[in-house]
Amino acid sequence: MKKIKLSSSVTAKLNLLIIGIVLITGIVIGTVSYNVAKNHLLESGQSELRKIADGAFTVLELLNQDVEEGTLTLEQAKDRAREILNGPVNSENEYDYMQTNFVYKNEGYVLAYDQSLVLQLHPSKIGGEPADELNRSNRANLVEAGMETNPEDRFAGYNDEQPDGSYRQKTAYMRYFEPWDWTVGIAVFEDEFYEGLHNLKYVIVAITGAIIVASSIIFYLLIRRKLNLLKNVAEAAATISSGNISQTELPESKDEIGLLAVSFNRMSGELKRLVTSVQQSSEHLLDSATDLSAISEQTSASSQEVGTAMMEISSGAQEQANDLEDVHSRVELLMKTVQQMKEETVRVETVMQQTEQVSNKGMAIVSKLKVSNKQSADASSEISSDMKQLSDKVKRITTVMDTIEHIAEETNLLALNASIEAARAGEHGKGFAVVADEIRKLAEQSKKAAHQVQDVISTVVKETNKTVEAVNANMKSTESLNMDVLETEGKFADLQKAIEKIALATSSLNNNMAQITNQTEMMSESIESVSSVSEETAASVEEISSSIDEQVNAITNVAKAAESLTNLNHELSDLLRKYHVS
């Protein structure tokens, strides 16, 4: 069996499919999880920004109360707000915002602008004017957001230019503090919201990879046995295609692949029974063909014997005609003698003796004709019996050929079902589909050969019926000839009596001359009648001989057909010899 490449094996394809499904699922789940987490972190960060900004707003309110109460001046209150919200001043004369509670992670700090867009709260740029149009636009957006009455609209995003010239996205939450004319809030870089997402990406990738590996291993362990069963099906199909169908049992189960094994085992058993049945039928066919050939030879020999007998009958009929012609001549001579009898009375006794001899000879001829006629009747009866036996044999052959044709049709149906099952098996069923197609072709050839034999048998039946009809006609002619022979024998008996009367009545010959003349004329007519019957007998014998020749030719054709049937059977046996069922 041809070895399957790893890249084209079902196992590899299924594993790749599982890996693809898990990978796609992991990507989808990871992407969704990442986006959900990102949105959640954004919302959480914005909520925290809002709390810090609200806290800064509260600090400004408290400090403003001190201003209103006179505890602090406005400038003192603003400086105090800068220390609380931006942290203490460090050695670099900047506010250390990391020392205050109003900070978001590492780079989120509180800032404030007045309506002139001048920084009032910032770790390092107090009193700074907008550096450029982008900076002015960003500050204006922040101040505008702080003026919104809806807290959700107080968030603003903008691009902050970095020292290296790049830009980072920032998000700010602002509120307008009217007593001081400040818009205060907190601004942070958005990527600070998503610091935890980097670790989440790695976790998702690691979990997805682990799921892919685990699912591939588990799937392979679960499917390996079923895939081995499919492999066994392919190997068993290859074994059957090589001619061995004795060992094709596969393990069965209740799942789909197990049902495939059940169907394959059932198909294998049916194929085994089919091949066994066809082999047995082939043996029976060979025996029938041998019997048919032997019967044909026997019938041919019998026909040749009948032909010989017919030749003898023809020869006897010819001799009978010659003898009757001789008798006719002698009767004419007798009539002349009767005319001269008055003058040759002395020679009457001699003529009477001659007449008696002729009569005896005629009786002998009639006896011989009776024997020949009996032989012809016996031969015709034997031919009729042989034809009946031949008809019975032909009927047996017809029955056998009907069985062969039925087997061929069943084989064709089984091969068609096997092709369908092989087509359902896909790539692994192609080899078996070829075997099923070859079996179907063999079945069609067997059916065709059976039809040819049936045609030959039909021809034999027709020729046999013709022979039977000819034999029956011959038997009727023989019976008619027998009646004529008996009549002729009676005539000869009458002639013998007449001769005896002539011998006794020689003294009254002259007085009874007229009667003798009349008897002689009657005898002449009888001889002519017998001669006509002899001619008809000869013609019938010729027809029988011709029929026998046709019968011999037909039997020869039967023998050739039997030989052809034997050759076809040998070819079928050679084809079936490829398959081993035990």
Is residue 505 scored above 70 in pLDDT?
no
What domains appear along the chain, each with residue ranges and CATH number? Answer: 6-213 (3.30.450.20), 312-576 (1.10.287.950)
> What is residue 385's predicted lDDT score, i.e. its pLDDT?
81
Is residue 511 scored above 60 in pLDDT?
yes
- 140-154, 366-380, 564-578: which range is least confident on average? 564-578
Give CA 178 to chain center in angstroms: 92
CA distance 175 to 115: 13
> What is residue 464's predicted lDDT score, i.e. its pLDDT?
77
The token pair that represents 28 in the structure block = 């989808």
Is residue 492 scored above 60 in pLDDT?
yes
Number of C-beta neighbours around residue 234 at 10 A: 20
Per-residue pLDDT band at 75 (split at 50, 70, 90): very high
DSSP 231-260: HHHHHHHHHHHTTB-SS------SSHHHHH
Global pTM? 0.38
Is residue 154 scored above 60 in pLDDT?
yes
List the helix and strand counts (H, then E) for the chain: 8, 6
Q: Tell me what the pLDDT averaged over the chain comes to.
A: 78
Work out the percent of the chain whose per-residue pLDDT is above 90: 16
More confident of the two residues 546 and 242: 546
CA distance 386 to 388: 5
Sign of the Cα torsion 376, 380, 383, 385 reads: negative
Q: How many angstroms separate the Cα of 69 from the Cα of each of 65, 180, 243, 413, 448?
A: 6, 15, 113, 111, 124
Nearest to 357 by CA among 330, 322, 329: 330
Nearest to 327 by CA among 357, 352, 358: 358
DSSP for residue 111: E
Q: What is the pLDDT of residues 329-380, one digit of tens each?
A: 776 776 777 677 667 666 767 776 777 787 788 778 878 877 877 887 787 7
Question: Highest mean pLDDT: which of 14-18, 401-405, 573-577?
Answer: 401-405
Residue pair 415/408 in contact (Cβ under 8 Å)? The answer is no
CA distance 304 to 145: 131
Amino acid at 568: L
Binning the chain into helix, strand and coil, the percentages to the nearest 5 are 80, 5, 15
